[in-house]
Chain A
């Protein structure tokens, strides 16, 4: 059984159907890529899978439990984390503080009005461990707003990792990165793949085809093709599309 599964997902905004009968499966320990042209419905699909939007119809099952319709914080508590297309951080806080607040041990005691969080050295050590993993060791004191763009991307992934996910959704992680930043991110994602289930929306086909175990192609709100990168290369739909140049 897949770790995460969406069945017959349907979403509309007013009279515009954005997702129609979308079926997706993410097996544990794999990296699934989601690709498609702008406006295809990829991000809306992510929003539905992670609780940002409530789907109009369909089921979302994570580890055997129906999570469709749950609030985002309830979904996160079950081990689902995500990043955003537009980098989403706590800009006024330091890098370390950004990650500390993402830790489950801190989040689970969010109603504690007494204990000083700055005295929680164990949480700080854990946060430093996550920062080291994404290449931000030594940058703890810097304010998030003062980081370089690539570092901000890395910090956003660190926040998601710190929340203790079992599955991580990354929405266009290479967006805005140059070749060097993309290469570093590819190394990080490849490393994460060893311990996490990953789902990545991406426009950079070389990035995606180099890392993904399976890829789903979304167009006009529907999954029009899917399979391994090789199967996609052989798919006549893909071969006839603008994706062919990179995929094949």
Chain B
């Protein structure tokens, strides 16, 4: 029973927060850019598959940022769930049913289960202990993928996976070409971005932001902190699993390297470089920047990751808000000048 006199309505605030747009404008720009990637990528000397890869990593980065940027939960072994999704997709296709929807469903479900098991062990922790436990579980998953040869194919992984058609019953789309696959992954990306957008601006999202800022205060305002941390970990794992399945589809294989600590580190770098800690759109920028840097810098030097690492260090030292933060500062200066 509350004390009505304490919270009775009667005063209107002098300021109200602006509601979130139903469909955010940057999403439309993203659809335009990626939706035409099959056309403009070859025109600038790149190849259509790059669009598929960028979109897949964007899906992964958006889900991951629900954890790191929005909830402040440093999961440094998240590649495990990307890999579980890839293997879930491949195993379902090879030993279960070769149906795109069922295979994708199996991947997401497998990642959700793996995420739930890990989250059950780590959700009462925070900070460095949380991070270390995620690394430990990530390494366990990677080790299992390498050693359980009869199921996972060992270091070779699962090969010759098919790009199955997207069959809606009344119409089916062939996804064998990279151009068609870009469109398919883009649809998945749009759905993931919209889901993340809604989550971040919902009551649930606000509760998670409270946990990030001050876990103790959130707990003593009555928020079930463990349950919130558990659930967002599972959601982020499911999105990582979906990204892993799309990656397996794109690569037509699933292999243990996707679960390695190195690969888990890449998603952290993408999100931080992009500015996921300060911007909802940062992970998208970071994923595109990483893949493009890999291909463009990689064309000139084998040590491209060294140069990318220097960029990462410079951003962490001088602009922790990442590329999104730089963009925001430039826009603010531009607005100030034109005002």
Contact = CB atoms under 8 A, between A and B. Distances in A.
Contacts of B335: none
Interface string A29-53: 0000000000000000000001010
Nearest to B20: A116
Contacts of B10: 125, 129
B3 A164 contact: yes
Nearest to A87: B217
Contacts of A88: 214, 216-217, 220
Given A103-B7, A161-B7, A72 B20 contact: no
Contact of A117 (B1, B3, B5, B201): B201
A72 B220 contact: yes
Contact of A97 (B2, B17, B221): B17
Interface in A117-135: 117-119, 121-122, 124-133
Contacts of B198: 113-114, 116
A72 B16 contact: no
A120 to B, nearest CB: 8
Nearest to A100: B206
Given A111-B204, A114-B198, A166 B1 contact: yes
Contacts of A137: 11, 14
Contacts of B227: 111
Interface size for chain B: under 10, 10 to 19, 20 to 34, or 35 or more residues? 35 or more
- Centre residue among B7, B14, B217 by max chain A CB count within 10 A: B7
B222 A121 contact: no
Nearest to A195: B5
B205 A101 contact: no
B333 interface: no
B207 interface: yes
A162 interface: yes
A66 interface: no
A126 B217 contact: no
A186 interface: no
A91 interface: yes
A82 B1 CA distance: 16
A118 B203 contact: no
B11 A132 contact: yes
Contacts of B12: 125, 128
Contacts of B205: 113, 117
Contacts of A115: 202-203
Interface in B5-53: 5-20
B160 interface: no
B327 interface: no
B212 to A, nearest CB: 9
Contacts of A196: 3, 6
B204 A164 contact: no
B178 interface: no
Contacts of A84: 216-217, 220
A140 B12 CA distance: 10
A117 B6 contact: no
B228 interface: yes
Given A118-B18, A128-B11, A76 B220 contact: yes
Contacts of A112: 202-204
A188 interface: no
- Centre residue among A92, A127, A128, A165 by max chain B CB count within 10 A: A128
B223 interface: yes
B84 interface: no
Interface string B194-236: 0000110111111101100110110111111101100100000
B163 to A, nearest CB: 32
A110 B11 contact: no
Nearest to B18: A118
Given A77-B222, A102-B221, A118 B11 contact: no
A110 B13 contact: no
B170 to A, nearest CB: 29
B3 A159 contact: no
A90 interface: yes
- Centre residue among B13, B16, B209, B223 by max chain A CB count within 10 A: B13
Contacts of A119: 19
B231 A89 contact: no
A164 B6 contact: yes
B202 A125 contact: no
B18 to A, nearest CB: 6
Contacts of B204: 110-113
Closest 8 CB pairs of A and B: A164-B2, A76-B222, A128-B13, A141-B15, A110-B207, A113-B204, A128-B11, A118-B17
23 contacts: A84-B220, A89-B214, A90-B214, A91-B213, A101-B221, A107-B221, A109-B203, A110-B223, A113-B198, A113-B199, A113-B205, A114-B198, A115-B203, A116-B198, A117-B206, A119-B19, A122-B9, A125-B10, A162-B6, A163-B221, A164-B3, A165-B2, A165-B6
Interface of B: 1-3, 5-20, 198-199, 201-207, 209-210, 213-214, 216-217, 219-225, 227-228, 231
Given A109-B203, A115-B202, 4 more contacts: A110-B228, A114-B198, A129-B11, A137-B14
